[in-house]
Amino acid sequence: MSNEIVSLKDVRHDPRVQTYITRANEQMKTVGYTEHGHRHAGIVSTIARYILTELGCDPRQAELAGIAAYLHDMGCVVNRVGHVEAGAMIAYDILTKLGMPPEEVATVIGAIGNHEEPNGQPISRESAAVIIADKSDVHFSRVQNSDALKFDIHDRVNHAVQKSFLRVDSAARTIRLELEINTEAASVTEYFEIFILRMVLCRRAADYLGCKFGLEINGVCL
C-alpha cells in the first residue's frame, strides 16, 4: 500500500485496528469503564473530521484528524493507565506498515498522545479536533455496567445524558457542546465534577482553532 494515501477507511478496516479496539473495550468493560470501543472510535472520528471540515481546513488534514480520532483510545488494549502513549506507539507501527509517510504519522501520533487531560495539549489542528470530539461523546449509550446499583459517577453522568450534539459555527467561530441531561439521574454539579478539566481542555483546543468553546445544558448556555 506504500505510495498510496492511507485513508480513514483503510485504517478502520485494518484487522489489527479491529482486533485491538475490540479487545481494548473488552478490557474497559471488565474493569467497569464506559464504552471505549468501535462505537466511541467511530463517533469521535466523525466529529473530529466534521470540526476541521466545517472550519474550512484542508480535506487531508480533516482525514488525519479522523484517523487519529479513530485510534485515540486503542492503547486501552494495554492498560487504561498509559493508554495515550501505548496507543500512539501501536498506531505508529500500524500506520507505518500501511505505508503512511512519517510526516503524517507524526501528526497522528502527536494527536493521540495529546488527547487526554491533564498532560494533553492542543499541538496541532488535528489534535485540537480530537480533544473536542473525544470530550463531546458523553451519552447514555456509553454505559456498559448493566447494574444501576453499581454505577459510578461516570456511569451516572453518561447515563443521564439523553442527547449530545457538537455545533460548529464557522462564521461565528464558535464550537458548542449541547447536552440534554436528565437531572433526576445525575445533577449538573456531578457533570462538572468529572468534566471540568475536560471542558478546560476543550476551551484550549477551541482557542487553538481560533474559536470560542461553549457548553449548553438543557438549553442554558454556560
Site residues (CB under 5 A) for Fe ion?
73, 116, 134
Shortest Å distance, C-beta 145 to Fe ion: 17
In angstroms, the CA 101 to CA 78 distance is 26
Sheet holding 161-169: strands in order across?
161-169, 174-181, 212-217, 220-221
Residue number, 104 or 116, with CB nearest to Fe ion: 116
Shortest Å distance, C-beta 112 to Fe ion: 9
Residue number, 73 or 104, with CB nearest to Fe ion: 73
Give the closest residue to 33 by CA, choosing from 81, 68, 66. Answer: 81
Shortest Å distance, C-beta 221 to Fe ion: 25
Residue number, 63 or 116, with CB nearest to Fe ion: 116
Residue 164 has, within 13 A of its CA and on its CB side, a CA count of 21
How far CA 47 is from CA of 50, 90, 135, 191, 201, in Å, comes to 5, 23, 10, 21, 16
Residue number, 73 or 155, with CB nearest to Fe ion: 73
Q: Which amino acid would we find at residue 75?
A: G
Shortest Å distance, C-beta 122 to Fe ion: 15
